[in-house]
Chain A
Amino acid sequence: ILNVEQSPQSLHVQEGDSTNFTCSFPSSNFYALHWYRWETAKSPEALFVMTLNGDEKKKGRISATLNTKEGYSYLYIKGSQPEDSATYLCAPSGYSTLTFGKGTMLLVSP
């Protein structure tokens, strides 16, 4: 089982603040890194799938970077809105595995 760490565990920000989370994972046998936005009892929403070292992806106010050599990925949210409140999960995958981190729980207050 891969050791996947996400930090911080939880985060409470005000509307309009920008924020970022970290996902750390073993760099060996890396295949892809997935970021999901997840609300309990719902299907996680896929945000990004990244495979190449140095990859940067953007979707609206959310962006992510990937460093496969050192085994980390950052997720950024610019100008947080209350609707961004959710748990953000990262999941590195090997050829036939997918291991989830425990997530970062984000709460954005109006």
Chain B
Amino acid sequence: GAVVSQHPSRVICKSGTSVKIECRSLDFQATTMFWYRQFPKQSLMLMATSNEGSKATYEQGVEKDKFLINHASLTLSTLTVTSAHPEDSSFYICSADNRLGEQYFGPGTRLTVT
């Protein structure tokens, strides 16, 4: 079955540093990937839609300069949290579209900013 991986699974960083999270579709090509974050006790929130070879589409209220998304290939999208602050601590999840209308979620990345 289709598998989506994320790396790292957990990361702790100091305030002011940048963190890159990778989302890979392991056995299918994904022209579209989605990035979500989940705050404690809240639902998943769509942050942006990542399209291979073009700029990401950000949801209202999500700072594109803060959350840099790069979808350089059909199997890899990256989310970089720049100048991270404690309020950026969250659970970040990606999903990938296999071009058959099916979505597969990654296992998520727990980011803690100290």
Number of A-B contacts (CB under 8 A): 41
A43–B43 Cα gap in the complex (Å)?
8
A100 in contact with B46 (CB, 8 Å): no
What is the distance, in angstroms, from A73's C-beta to the closest C-beta of chain B?
17
Main secondary structure of the interface of B (DSSP, over half): strand
What is the distance, in angstroms, from B103's C-beta to the closest C-beta of chain A?
6
Main secondary structure of the interface of A (DSSP, over half): loop
A87 in contact with B44 (CB, 8 Å): no
A residues apposed to B, CB below 8 Å:
1, 36, 40-46, 49, 87, 96-100, 102-103
Can you report 26 residue pairs joining A to B where beta carbons are below 8 Å apart?
A1-B107, A36-B43, A36-B44, A40-B101, A41-B34, A41-B49, A42-B46, A43-B36, A43-B44, A43-B45, A44-B36, A44-B43, A46-B42, A46-B44, A49-B41, A96-B10, A97-B107, A97-B108, A98-B38, A98-B108, A99-B107, A99-B108, A100-B93, A100-B105, A102-B1, A103-B103
